[in-house]
Amino acid sequence: MKLNGSEIFVESLKREGVKTIFGIPGGVVLKLFDVLHQQKDVEVILTRHEQGAIHMAEGYGKATGKAGVALVTSGPGMTNIVTGLQDAMMDSVPLVAFTGQVPTNLIGNDAFQEADNIGISRPCTKHNVLVKDVADLAATIKEAFYIANTGRPGPVLVDIPKDVSTESAEFRYPDKVDIRGYRPTVTGNRYQIKQAAGEIMKAKRPVIYVGGGAIFSGAANEVREFAELTQIPLTMTVMGLGAFPGTHPLCMGMLGMHGTYCANMAMHEADLLIAVGARFDDRVTGKLSEFSPRARVIHIDIDPTSIKKNVHAHIPIVGDVKTVLRELVGVLSSMDGNPASVKAQRKPWQKQVSEWSARHPLAYQQEGKKETKPQYVIEKAYELTKHKAIVVTDVGQHQMWAAQYFRGAQQRTFLTSGGLGTMGFGFPAAIGAQKAYPNKTVLCITSEGSFQMNLQELAVAAIYKLPVKIILLNNQFHGMVRQWQDLFYEGRYASSDLGATPDFVKLAEAYGILGLHSDGPADVEAVLKEGLKHKGPVLMNFAIDRFENCYPMIPAGGAHHEMVLEDPPHMKTTRKGARKKGEDADAVLPA
């Protein structure tokens, strides 16, 4: 069957089971959009900015575990998705981005809306391909989805010149993919797994440290089985949240810069770390030379480059987390004296962990305060949606509070920009997740700083009736920047005070969606309840304490045991000269 390039494109998407793509048309992709327009199987969500499209595709990919898809035009269309590509690269998000390109005979001639899409995206994609011949298009698309979804997932970009989208070729969609240079290791080395089991049985103070790899692998059940069998306390990175129930007695919460006291102390004192799909990011390890100084390290990861990159692994195991954990649990179960003996053996360590947990639990003081504490809003939102919502965050203080207080129970229900820390990710990603799961409650926890970076997508939520519940924690600051300035720059708030924000209720109404506002702690719960009950999208604006800081905090370059647990005394004096606490907390831009 002979089809033109655009028909091949759409047929290929169908074969991949793609139901939704996010994008914006433009000169060189008109034919692709024209063919999409004439069929019903693949829905096109027209976003307001290409960055919105790529983050929506990310949200879709993170929520479902299958590649999200974006389609944008050449030149500015492509350059606008670069942030999302790098974000997906850092967080291993399965994603296929299709970009338009000028006709092949014009490539390199500085044609209108030309950019070197392949050159620009090379370092921020897992793979990218320029399709030079329409006859290669179907196979290229097949490979793109295969590469995006397998191994350590990631973004793949396919660049389609205009003439390739119009010329015809015989359509044959390959059944199988065989790329000789790409064969991810799935099964772990048996000998290494046996060694690991031996170490685990010997360890006195072991910690399981789980990252996003466990979630991409879909290994929540295996993680739980492993932790329960071995009775080892467990901590998660921000990317790993959801891989293990936050309410489980073995769960120590998140670790790292804003991790719990308990998790970080356990990391510092551990004699064995079992890293599961995690990559020892600097926000997790703190000062490398003092990181877990007494621990031996078992490192399970599908990506060999993650192993021994930052921290030495005594027992590296390359493989898919789910597969390796299954094998490991099998070996452990067959060992002598297991698992009954383990329980007794772990008691002293578990006792120590509970002591840490009790000594400095996550805490904030709402009672008796006039202003709303952001943690209070998040905790209430958590209580009202317990284990039923998909939580999508933006980046900054609110992200860390959400990570601390949302004790999720399921994988792929806490979506955040962990590696790149992209402000503006949250709202479009929430739209993408909502599109994937129209009947689930999707919360977008954001702030006035992050939200304003992609608020144009309110139109998409309204037009496509995607009922995202936006919880906007408004302190009129780039809060995390302000926190660092408080702690390390003597309170000089260089360009962190936003001065004023728009009237978010009116803004929501201007887009035809419900806007709600909360002034103080008294109406927080009522606003949340009303917003959650509403059928359509909602923007809930919470005026919060402008000067609340996120603790614990390991100062950059500090070690795990050097956590700061509350505002240090010097901040009281350095804050003079800034806008006073509470002053103008509701400042709105002049009409």
Partner 1 sequence: MEHIISVLVENKAGVLARVAGLFSARNYNIESLSVAPTPDSTISMITIVTSGEELIIEQIMKQLNKVIEVLKVVDLTEEDHIDRETALIKIGAKQSHRDEAIRIAQIFRAHIVDSTPQTYTLEVSGDSDKIQAVINLLKPMGIKEIVRTGRIAIARESA
Q: What residues act catalytically?
A: 50, 112-113, 162, 480
Residues 117-146 interacting with partner 1 (rule: CB under 8 A): 118-119, 122-123, 126-127, 130
Structural contact between residues 587 and 500, judged by C-beta atoms closer than 8 angstroms: yes
Residues 225-254 interacting with partner 1 (rule: CB under 8 A): none
Closer Cβ to partner 1, 310 or 338, answer by number: 310
Query: Of 29, 32, 147, 270, which one interacts with partner 1 (CB under 8 A)?
Result: 147
Query: Of 180, 351, 535, 576, which one interacts with partner 1 (CB under 8 A)?
Result: 180
- Between CA 136 and CA 298 the distance in angstroms is 43
Q: How far is the CB of 320 from partner 1 (least distance, A)?
A: 16
Q: How far is the CB of 82 from partner 1 (least distance, A)?
A: 14
CA 249, chain centre distance (Å): 25
Closer Cβ to partner 1, 182 or 437, answer by number: 182
Q: How far is the CB of 192 from partner 1 (least distance, A)?
A: 16
DSSP state, residue 105: G
Closer Cβ to partner 1, 62 or 126, answer by number: 126
Options 14-22, 175-183, 422-430, 559-567: segment touching partner 1 (CB under 8 A): 175-183
Q: How far is the CB of 289 from partner 1 (least distance, A)?
A: 14
- Between CA 216 and CA 149 the distance in angstroms is 9
Residue reference for tokens 């199987």: 41
Closer Cβ to partner 1, 150 or 338, answer by number: 150
Q: How far is the CB of 114 from partner 1 (least distance, A)?
A: 17
Binding to partner 1 by residue 160, rule CB under 8 A?
no
3-state secondary structure 181-214: CCCCCCCCCHHHHHHHHHHHHHCCCEEEEECHHH
Residues 298-357 interacting with partner 1 (rule: CB under 8 A): 303-305, 307-309
Structural contact between residues 400 and 432, judged by C-beta atoms closer than 8 angstroms: no
Closer Cβ to partner 1, 176 or 180, answer by number: 180
Query: Alpha-carbon dihedral of residues 544, 548, 551, 555, nearest 10 degrees?
Result: 130
Options 86-94, 179-187, 243-251, 393-401: segment touching partner 1 (CB under 8 A): 179-187
The burial class, CB within 10 Å (0-12 / 13-18 / 19+), for 573 is exposed
Q: How far is the CB of 312 from partner 1 (least distance, A)?
A: 8
Residue type, 46: L
What one-character-per-residue DSSP string does 43-93 give? EEEE-SSHHHHHHHHHHHHHHHSS-EEEEE-STHHHHTTHHHHHHHHHTT-
Query: Of 2, 178, 181, 569, which one interacts with partner 1 (CB under 8 A)?
Result: 181
- Between CA 332 and CA 335 the distance in angstroms is 5
> β-strand 168-170 against 2-4: which pairing, if any?
antiparallel
Helix axes 321-333 and 190-202, enclosed angle (nearest 10): 60
298, containing H or E segment: strand 296-301
Closer Cβ to partner 1, 305 or 495, answer by number: 305
Query: Of 14, 107, 182, 369, which one interacts with partner 1 (CB under 8 A)?
Result: 182
Residues 355-374 interacting with partner 1 (rule: CB under 8 A): none
Q: How far is the CB of 298 from partner 1 (least distance, A)?
A: 18
What one-character-per-residue DSSP string does 414-462 give? EE---SS--TT-HHHHHHHHHHH-TTSEEEEEEEHHHHTTSGGGHHHHH
136, containing H or E segment: none
Closer Cβ to partner 1, 85 or 307, answer by number: 307
Query: Of 179, 358, 522, 556, which one interacts with partner 1 (CB under 8 A)?
Result: 179
328, containing H or E segment: helix 321-333
List of residues 6+ apart from 212 with CB closer than 8 A: 91, 92, 237, 239, 240, 277, 278, 418
Options 91-99, 115-123, 371-379, 495-503: segment touching partner 1 (CB under 8 A): 115-123
- Phi, psi of 417, rounded to the nearest 5 degrees: -90, 95
Query: Which parts of this chain interact with partner 1 (CB under 8 A)?
Result: 118-119, 122-123, 126-127, 130, 147, 179-182, 303-305, 307-309
